Structure 1
Amino acid sequence: MPDASLLPAQLAGQPLQCLHCGSLPALAQCLHNARYPAPTWVLIENSATDDTQWALHGRTVCNALDALPAPYIEIASNDADTLETHLHPHHAATAVVVCSTGTDEARRLSLAITTRLLSNGQGA
């Protein structure tokens, strides 16, 4: 989870909200809750999760992704940890940033992609 004080308050004029969703059930709840303030974009930083957790909670996360009313960008440290690898949601990520050199670099890249898309009027 990034230090929210190090993140910009806005991206391309849109407010940035940072939520910690440290497990698959928490991620499903965060995605469910994100439906109502209607965010313009969602950034998801996924961490390594074991097969048991995917089996127990994967369908709930997939349903929450499919119900999400906004496009999203996913951050992962390797291909094996992506939501697409485990869930194959109908509402797939606009971009998946896989960055094995560290999450800070992946976050910077994801924020830059989101800023560019918002500046071009996509998702707004």
Structure 2
Amino acid sequence: MTVLGSDPVLDEMAALRHEVTGVSGSVIAGVDGLLILHDTLPGVEPNDIAALAAGACGISRTTGAVLQQGPFREVTIGNQNGYLAVYAVGDLALLAVIGDGGLNIARLHLAARPVTQRLAALLTFDPTHPFDRR
């Protein structure tokens, strides 16, 4: 569990979990699928979620290019008992949000879009230390 005030990036992730009923955790990953940070419950492997997010992003980017719809913004995968929503955080990172079957996906989208903008401002890119946090 994240303690508010401990880290601004983790605070954003925890706030999303608390703000939107049905969100059970989130992961920040690079577009290459490497885990950067997570706010997940036990039993969820954050490295797996990071890899899934990158895969979903890759398919979505290709779709956007083929259909000439522009760069990747978000993709939602709905299953019988839950969701995985993946959002672009700038050009190099992703926010993957895990939700249970009771998640209101429209509410998540409304809450997550401003979070991705704030996360992009908090994450920086340095070629020698990717995704240093300010």
* Common topology (TM > 0.5): no
Which one has a larger percent strand, Structure 1 or Structure 2? 2
Please, what TM-score do these two structures have when normalized by structure 1?
A: 0.30
